[in-house]
Chain A
Amino acid sequence: MKDIKCECGHVNPHGTVLCEACGKVFDEQSKDKSLLDMRYEGSARRSQTYNKSIVDKIWNFFSSVKVGVWLIVITLVASAAGTILPQEMYIPPTMPAEEYYEDQYGWFGKLYYELGFNNLYSSWWYLVLIAMIGISLVICSLDRVVPLYKALKAQRVTRHEGFLKRQRLFGTSENVIEQDIAGVRERLKAKRYHIREENGDLLAEKGRFSRWGPYVNHVGLIVFLIGGMLRFVPGMYIDKVLWLREGETKVVPETDGQYYVANEKFILENYDKERDKTFEAAIDRAGMVVKNYQTNAVLYKRVGPAIPGEKPELKKVKEHAIRVNQPLKFEKFALYQVDYKLDELNTMFFSLTNKSSGKTFGDIKINLYDPKPKYDLGNGYQVEVLSFFPDFEFAESGEPTTKSRIPNNPAFVFKMTSPEAPNGETSFVAIQQTIEPLGDNQYKMAFKGIETKNVTALTVRKDLTIWIIMLGGILFMIGVIQGAYWNHRRIWVQHKNGEIWIAAHTNKNWYGLKREIESVLANTKINIPIDQIESQKVDKEGV
């Protein structure tokens, strides 16, 4: 593995195709071609040349663009597969995921679950794919940008004949007067070319920085990935849901018990046909359309130290109406409106009624979150709650039982004591259902009504990574613009064999380069260089 010394005196790294300085062709295969492959200036991509240790082998694997493209294709296919069925976080929490997928989607759902597609985007193999794309990006970029930079830096004004001849735009002219060349030089300068001269030869170059566009873009992507990675660092990213009933005050998760939030009221407003005449037709067509989801929230801060469980001393920080996209913000946190549940049962009213006379002996009000064991109605009338089932169902054994602590379907066993029945009568009362297990009663608990409360759900969000992700996005766009809106153009005007040779190269937009050359060479005796590809076939790369 030796370096290559060119006849021009420049020492090139092993694997170089074109001399970095003068452009002489080293590669035997390229010598036979009429045009040069100018990618990466014919520089030696190191990875392609050293292949010795395991480190080199890993490096070379990731350095391959082919590998990179395949990684992206595989990731795309996998990402698409994740959208065939809903991800686990979006399925209703009514049954466990392992049952849900099979129950809803049959054998395919089962397979989907067993392959781990239910949590695809956080599965280890998906993350490994993303990580490999990241590694491929870093190594591909490093492996190309360094040699490219060196080759562009080392390039000399005077180029080898073989190099000039094999450029896509190439032309020769005889009997050119020096004045014409001076004129060309001036006009190139006017077109913002940097001109370098050596023994009367010219190299005009502009827009070299466009070549760094893809690498800036890749740096942006890597910064973006780092931002994504930081989300896994504890404390950097928080995304929790907090359910809050009207009138409730709860600690805000992940604030170490420092902050509390109260839900004063949850409001759901619809568009009103009468008031918003403009929307009448739309409302007729679509039915109810929600205008506003709003939680009137109050934020409190804990004063002094308190240990969990003890009633904290709270100081009001601020009130805020949380609407969609109008979060309540404090410190690095934001509380967003995300979900709601209307009319959750909260209180039930009954009255103790004599079944035959219909006479009532007092009403009771039962707070379903805190029912009292006994309600005394005076004059020897009393109601005891023997059992309370907030979310009533019959167990397999036939016993009444509760499914959860939320009063979705409350049921009671009451013991009603009256002067006529001093030992009490037992009655089982559920919604639209009364059972008198110990024979006919004289009294009943007549259902009077309910009170409901709305529940709001707030997203508790803290994201310290968003700035890094935004920075990545900005760098990405700068790279795209840099690479897309500028072209790296070079024009060589050189004395060879008593003639004037003109060759030109651009990394894109050959049409633009040709027009530029035409205007520069106008009114001179120098021939316009010929497009050696177009002379064979139609230019595909044109504008």
Chain B
Amino acid sequence: MKKRRLVMRTTILIVLAAAVAYTLYANLTKDNRMKVEVGKQAPDFALVDMEGEKHKLSDYKGQGVFLNFWGTWCKPCEAEMPYINNQYNHYKDKGVQVLAVNVSESELAVNQFAERKGLDFPIVIDTDGQVQAAYGINPLPATFLIDKDGKVVKYHTGTLTESTVREFMEKIKP
């Protein structure tokens, strides 16, 4: 009788505690719950670059992809661009591809920016925001490291230094 009561009470308390713990967990992680999780397959996308060439993420299987989301007005994005460009030139023959996704700006703004900064890597414009939605982008700049199997290795938001960019490229070098 007494034992049954203890089992009963313990069960009820455990059920209640589990419900509360789940609610708290779900609530506290809802803001940083990523659309794209580290260790999972990166969502495929296809965008056309400024030269008219189509870039499909899944076509880069076998290579590492340094995926950067940026805007011309975003100062930290601007600051890290030269570093990315340097390391791109260093790593492009070692199997690391850079894809810079601009967030819905005009071609003119993007072209002028690329020219001013002397950027060599392919830049694509996500005009209607589909790719941003798929990756849950906010805030800028946002960088995803995708390995040769198409899996997300790392997500980073905020300015990168040249050494971090190098470290990142090293990480996804096949």
Cα separation A385 to B71 with both chains bound (whole Å): 19
Determine which of A229, A251, A385 lies in contact with B23 in the assembled complex, contact meaning CB atoms within 8 Å. A229
Determine which of A50, A124, A135 lies in contact with B16 in the assembled complex, contact meaning CB atoms within 8 Å. A135
Contact B13 A308 (CB under 8 A): no
Given A124-B28, A370-B108, A387-B112; A307-B23 close (CB under 8 Å): no
Give the residues in chain A near B22, CB-CB below 8 Å. Answer: 229, 232
Contact B109 A388 (CB under 8 A): yes
Determine which of B104, B128, B134 lies in contact with A249 in the assembled complex, contact meaning CB atoms within 8 Å. B128
Number of interface residues of B (CB under 8 A): 44
Let me know if A122 is at the binding interface, CB within 8 A.
Answer: yes
Interface secondary structure of B, over-half rule: helix
Determine which of B10, B129, B133 lies in contact with A55 in the assembled complex, contact meaning CB atoms within 8 Å. B10
Q: Which of B42-50, B80-88, B159-167 contacts A (4 or more CB under 8 A)?
A: B42-50
Per-residue 0/1 for B76-99: is the Cβ within 8 Å of any A Cβ (1 yes, 0 no)?
000000000000000000000000
B69 CB to closest chain A CB (Å) equals 13
Let me know if B138 is at the binding interface, CB within 8 A.
Answer: no
Let me know if B34 is at the binding interface, CB within 8 A.
Answer: no
Cα separation A250 to B128 with both chains bound (whole Å): 7
Nearest chain-A residue to B129 (Cβ)? A250
Q: Which of A154-162, A268-276, A396-404, A481-489 contacts B (4 or more CB under 8 A)?
A: A396-404
Per-residue 0/1 for A295-312: is the Cβ within 8 Å of any B Cβ (1 yes, 0 no)?
000000000000111100
Contact A373 B16 (CB under 8 A): no
Nearest chain-B residue to A254 (Cβ)? B133
Give the residues in chain A near B133, CB-CB below 8 Å. Answer: 251, 253, 257, 308
Cα separation A135 to B20 with both chains bound (whole Å): 9
Contact A309 B26 (CB under 8 A): no
Nearest chain-B residue to A142 (Cβ)? B12
B138 CB to closest chain A CB (Å) equals 12
Determine which of B2, B6, B45 lies in contact with A308 in the assembled complex, contact meaning CB atoms within 8 Å. B45
Nearest chain-B residue to A405 (Cβ)? B105
Contact A131 B23 (CB under 8 A): yes
Cα separation A371 to B106 with both chains bound (whole Å): 7
Given A373-B111, A403-B73; A58-B13 close (CB under 8 Å): yes
Let me know if A279 is at the binding interface, CB within 8 A.
Answer: no
Given A253-B133, A307-B56; A46-B5 close (CB under 8 Å): yes
Cα separation A309 to B19 with both chains bound (whole Å): 40
Contact B130 A309 (CB under 8 A): yes
Give the residues in chain B near A77, CB-CB below 8 Å. Answer: none
Let me know if B27 is at the binding interface, CB within 8 A.
Answer: yes
Let me know if A372 is at the binding interface, CB within 8 A.
Answer: yes
Per-residue 0/1 for B34-73: is the Cβ within 8 Å of any A Cβ (1 yes, 0 no)?
0000000001111100000000100000000000000111
In chain A, positions 390-410 with a C-beta closer than 8 Å to chain B are: 390-391, 401-405
Nearest chain-A residue to B31 (Cβ)? A122
Give the residues in chain A near B111, CB-CB below 8 Å. Answer: 373
Contact B5 A251 (CB under 8 A): no
Contact B73 A128 (CB under 8 A): no
Let me know if B126 is at the binding interface, CB within 8 A.
Answer: yes
Contact A308 B130 (CB under 8 A): yes
Cα separation A135 to B129 with both chains bound (whole Å): 44
Determine which of A55, A131, A309, A388 lies in contact with B108 in the assembled complex, contact meaning CB atoms within 8 Å. A388
Let me know if A233 is at the binding interface, CB within 8 A.
Answer: yes
Let me know if B156 is at the binding interface, CB within 8 A.
Answer: no
Cα separation A128 to B6 with both chains bound (whole Å): 25
Let me know if B172 is at the binding interface, CB within 8 A.
Answer: no
Let me know if A511 is at the binding interface, CB within 8 A.
Answer: no
Give the residues in chain A near B9, CB-CB below 8 Å. Answer: 55-56, 59
B53 CB to closest chain A CB (Å) equals 13
In chain B, positions 104-131 with a C-beta closer than 8 Å to chain A are: 104-109, 111-112, 124, 126, 128-131
A41 CB to closest chain B CB (Å) equals 20
Determine which of A131, A226, A307 lies in contact with B45 in the assembled complex, contact meaning CB atoms within 8 Å. A307
Give the residues in chain A near B130, CB-CB below 8 Å. Answer: 251, 257, 308-309
Give the residues in chain A near B128, CB-CB below 8 Å. Answer: 249-251
Give the residues in chain A near B104, CB-CB below 8 Å. Answer: 405
A49 CB to closest chain B CB (Å) equals 11
Contact B47 A309 (CB under 8 A): yes
Determine which of B20, B44, B107, B131 lies in contact with A128 in the assembled complex, contact meaning CB atoms within 8 Å. B20
Which 10 A/B pairs are nearest by Cβ-Cβ distance? A232-B26, A308-B130, A131-B20, A309-B47, A309-B45, A308-B45, A308-B134, A402-B73, A308-B131, A371-B108
Can you pick out 9 interface pairs between chain A and chain B where the beta carbons lie within 8 Å of each other? Answer: A53-B6, A122-B27, A124-B27, A138-B16, A234-B26, A253-B133, A309-B130, A405-B71, A405-B103
Since A55-B6, A370-B107 are in contact, a sample of 19 more A-B pairs with Cβ atoms closer than 8 Å, ordered by chain A residue number, is: A55-B13, A59-B13, A127-B24, A128-B24, A131-B19, A131-B23, A134-B16, A142-B12, A229-B23, A232-B30, A251-B128, A308-B45, A308-B46, A308-B130, A308-B133, A309-B45, A369-B106, A373-B108, A403-B73
- Residues in chain A within 8 A of chain B (CB atoms): 46, 50, 53, 55-56, 58-59, 122, 124, 127-128, 131, 134-135, 138-139, 142, 226, 229, 232-234, 249-251, 253, 257, 307-310, 369-373, 385-388, 390-391, 401-405
